[in-house]
Amino acid sequence: MTKTHPEFRADIHCHSSFSDGSMHPDELVAHAKEVGLQGLSITDHDTTASYPAVFKKAEELGIEMISGVEFSTMHNKKTVHVLGYAYRIENEEIQSLCRRHVDRRKERNRKILDLLEKRGMPIHLDLEGQPKGRPHIAQSLVEAGHVATFQEAFDRWIGNGKPCYTEGTPVSTQETIQVIQNAGGVAVLAHPQQLKNKSFVLELLQLNFDGMECHYGVLGTLPEYLKIAEEKHLIITGGSDFHGSVKPKIPLGCSWTPEETFRLLRNRFLS
C-alpha cells in the first residue's frame, strides 16, 4: 500500500546491499515510494556503486534523488562518520577516496577476523566482492554459534574498544571533507549524538563541515545539535540510517530532510 505524506519528505541517509544494507538500490527506491517519500539519497559506506544506475528506477517512480555516500573517518583518535551529498559521481578524487576507504575497511576486517580466530571463533566471510561491515561480522558470529545475539557480538568482541576490534589505517575527517567539497559536494557530520561528547562535536565543527545531521533515525530531532547547527548556520539534514533487515527496528523515512534543504542540495547536484 502506497501512502503519500502531505508534506515533502526526503530520507537522505540509508544503506543498500552495495554496503551493509539488505536491499538492492532499485528495491530501496521502490520501498521509498511505498513509504511515501518524495526524495532519497543512498549513502552507502565507502562506495558510490548504486549511482548512476539507480537514477533510472527513481525517475520511473517519481522519486527525486541526490548523490550520497558515508565515510568512517578519524579525528583525534575518534571515529567520525561523514556524509557526502550532491558531489559529482564521476569525480576522480572522490572515486579514489572511496577506494582508499574500501582498502582500509578490508584490511581492518581481515585483522578483526584474525583476532576472532585467535580466540577460537573462526568465521567464514568473503571480504572481497561486496564491501563488508561489522554488522556482517556480527551476523556471521551468530550463525557460527560463537555468540547468541547480534548485540552480544558487539558487547563482548567487536564493539569499539572490545578485544577483537581494531582500526585499519584511518583516513582523516579533514581530508574526507575536502575531497567531498572538491567534487562539488557538501560534507555533513553524521549522527552527532553517537559521539556522546558535545565538546568534541564543537571541536569537529571547527573543521570545514557544511552541515550536520540533526534529525536521525528513530530518535527524530536532536534538539541539542539542532540548536548548534542553527547558530552556526549549517545545513540541517535528516535521515533514517535504514539498513533493511540488517537493522529491522529502523524503518525507512523515520527521519527526513525538509523540502527546502533537499531542494538546495538537489539544485546543487543538478547544476
Interface positions with ligand AMP (CB under 6 A): 45, 72, 133-135, 151, 154, 159
Q: What is the DSSP letter of 205?
A: T
Nearer to Zn ion, 134 or 146 (CB): 134
What the block records as the C-alpha cell of 158 is 567487536
Footprint of Fe ion on residues 62-101 (CB under 5 A)? 70, 81
Please, what is the minimum distance in Å from the beta carbon of residue 192 to Fe ion? Answer: 11
Stretch that binds Zn ion, among 7-15, 104-112, 149-157, 177-185 (CB under 5 A): 7-15
Nearest Cα residue to 190 out of 105, 71, 57, 44:
71
Please, what is the minimum distance in Å from the beta carbon of residue 21 to Fe ion? Answer: 9
Give the span between the Cα atoms of 78 and 47, in whole angstroms: 22
Please, what is the minimum distance in Å from the beta carbon of residue 206 to Fe ion? Answer: 21
Nearer to Fe ion, 13 or 146 (CB): 13
Nearer to Fe ion, 121 or 239 (CB): 239
Residue 27: φ, ψ to 5°: -70, -40
If one asks whether residue 215 binds Fe ion (CB under 5 A), the answer comes out as no
From the list ligand AMP, Fe ion, Zn ion, none, partner contacted by residue 72 (C-beta under 5 to 8 A by kind): ligand AMP
**Which residues are registered as beta bridge partners of 75?**
78
Q: Which residue is nearest to ligand AMP (CB)?
A: 133
Give the list of residues 6+ apart from residue 105 with CB closer than 8 angstroms, or none.
Answer: 45, 46, 72, 131, 132, 133, 168
Nearer to Zn ion, 226 or 250 (CB): 250
Q: What is the DSSP letter of 246?
A: G
Q: What is the DSSP letter of 67?
A: -
Nearer to Zn ion, 2 or 245 (CB): 245
CA 45 to mean position of chain CA atoms:
5
Q: Residue 216 to residues 65, 189, 212, 219: CA-CA distances in angstroms?
A: 19, 12, 10, 6
If one asks whether residue 20 binds Zn ion (CB under 5 A), the answer comes out as yes
Give the span between the Cα atoms of 61 and 63, in whole angstroms: 6
Please, what is the minimum distance in Å from the beta carbon of residue 46 to ligand AMP? Answer: 9
Nearer to Zn ion, 19 or 38 (CB): 19
- Contact of 229 with 2, CB cutoff 8 Å: no
From the list Zn ion, Fe ion, ligand AMP, none, partner contacted by residue 154 (C-beta under 5 to 8 A by kind): ligand AMP
Please, what is the minimum distance in Å from the beta carbon of residue 255 to ligand AMP? Answer: 15
Please, what is the minimum distance in Å from the beta carbon of residue 160 to ligand AMP? Answer: 6
Nearer to ligand AMP, 38 or 72 (CB): 72
The site for Zn ion, by CB under 5 A, has a size of 2
Q: What is the DSSP string of 110-157?
A: HHHHHHHHHTT-------SSS---HHHHHHHHHHTTSSSSHHHIIIII
What the block records as the C-alpha cell of 209 is 563541515
Give the span between the Cα atoms of 222 and 219, in whole angstroms: 7
Binding site for Fe ion (CB under 5 A): 70, 81, 190, 241
